[in-house]
Amino acid sequence: MAENNAEAVAVNNTTTLMNINMNNVIKLNATNYLMWNRQVHPIFDGYALANYLDSTAAIPEPIFVVNDVNSPNPAFDLWNRQDRMIYSALIGALSPSVQPLVSRAHTSTDVWLTLAQTYVKPSRGHIKQLKHQVKQWTKGTHTIDEYFQGLTTKFDQLALLGKVIDYEDQIEFILDGLSKDYKSIVNQMEGRDVPPSLTELHEKLLNHEANLLTAAPPAISPITANYVSNNRNQRSAPK
């Protein structure tokens, strides 16, 4: 029996139950579906259990008939038991703000499809919003890590929605949003015949950021003048 919602027991074959540990899975929230999906689905793939997330997979009949006698189907009972536990594991991998979305889901497949339809549905408005965010995203006061991750996350979200941004266009978006302090890097990258990899560009920007921080002049404390009274130059007031 699982100790908490982060563990699932699932059927690996007709007679065996196996424990699947999901303790290291990030909690799904409104912005990280892509990475959550990439963590969870391979777990079930690795145990040959991804069919429990697939709406087209065959489900055993709850009743089978032998000599006109209806009898409970042990295969269905086994399927149902493991599905309940996978269902529990999936719920445990959702943040509290997301859990209400699947309140009407009855099976593991229902949970999986509900989440996919919520976060992957390629609505025109959602795609347009993401494209606008990509165009408007700039370095500003962000660190290079924050700036870079902000864009690459949006690239991935668009790809998940079937709107893949061309690789060279991704590089161009990254370079266009940089501040003037990074002009030398921009000129260097634009002058190349072959665009850099995202990893190489990220590393160069990080190194340049470190150089900028090192070269920044120390903060100068304001100079204050204290008035010193010279009693010898002052006349005593007449008594």
Which one of 74, 104, 119 terminates a domain? Answer: 119
Residue 239 covered by a domain: no
- For residue 207, the enclosing domain spans 124-215
Q: CA 85: distance to chain centroid?
A: 25
Q: What is the Cα–Cα distance from 89 to 84, expressed in whole angstroms?
A: 9
Number of domains comprising the chain? 2
Confidence of residue 4 (pLDDT cuts 50, 70, 90): very low
Q: Are residues 98 and 136 in the same domain?
A: no
Largest CA distance in the chain: 132
Q: Please, are residues 105 and 163 in contact by the beta-carbon 8 Å criterion?
A: no
Give the pairing of strands 63-66 and 17-21: unpaired
**Pick from 193, 2, 15: which is nearest to 93 by CA?**
2
Please identify which residue in the block is written with the tokens 């309140």: 103
Q: Are residues 111 and 140 in the same domain?
A: no
pLDDT tens for residues 204-236? Answer: 999 999 999 998 776 555 555 454 445 544 444
Q: Are residues 159 and 203 in the same domain?
A: yes
Q: Are residues 104 and 130 in the same domain?
A: no
Confidence of residue 157 (pLDDT cuts 50, 70, 90): confident
Q: Please, are residues 6 and 23 in contact by the beta-carbon 8 Å criterion?
A: yes
Instruction: Give Cα separations from 14 to 60, 75, 172, 233 (angstroms).
Output: 11, 7, 53, 106
Is the per-residue pLDDT at 100 higher than 60? yes
136-140, 198-202, 213-217, range with the lowest pLDDT: 213-217
pLDDT at 220 (0 to 100): 57
Torsion angle defined by CA atoms of residues 89, 28, 144 and 195, in that order, rounded to the nearest 10 degrees: 80
Task: Render 28-96 in DSSP notation, one character per residue.
Answer: B-SS-HHHHHHHHHHHHHHTT-GGGG-TTS----SEEEETTEEEE-HHHHHHHHHHHHHHHHHHHTB-T
Q: Are residues 41 and 102 in the same domain?
A: yes
Average of per-residue pLDDT values in the chain: 83
pLDDT at 7 (0 to 100): 45
The average pLDDT across 131-145 equals: 94
Q: What is the Cα–Cα distance from 223 to 123, expressed in whole angstroms?
A: 59
Length of the chain (residues): 239
Instruction: Give Cα separations from 109 to 24, 33, 49, 71 (angstroms).
Output: 22, 16, 12, 26
From its phi and psi, is residue 162 left (phi > 0), alpha (psi between -120 and 50) or beta?
Answer: left
Confidence of residue 2 (pLDDT cuts 50, 70, 90): very low
pLDDT at 65 (0 to 100): 83
pLDDT tens for residues 65-76? Answer: 888 888 898 889
Residue 221 covered by a domain: no
Residue 128 covered by a domain: yes
Residue 150 covered by a domain: yes
Q: What is the Cα–Cα distance from 222 to 199, expressed in whole angstroms?
A: 42
pLDDT tens for residues 17-67? Answer: 677 778 889 999 987 888 899 899 999 998 888 999 998 888 999 998 888
Q: What is the Cα–Cα distance from 186 to 180, expressed in whole angstroms?
A: 9
Residue 70: phi and psi, rounded to 5, are: -80, 130
Residue 199 one-letter amino acid = T
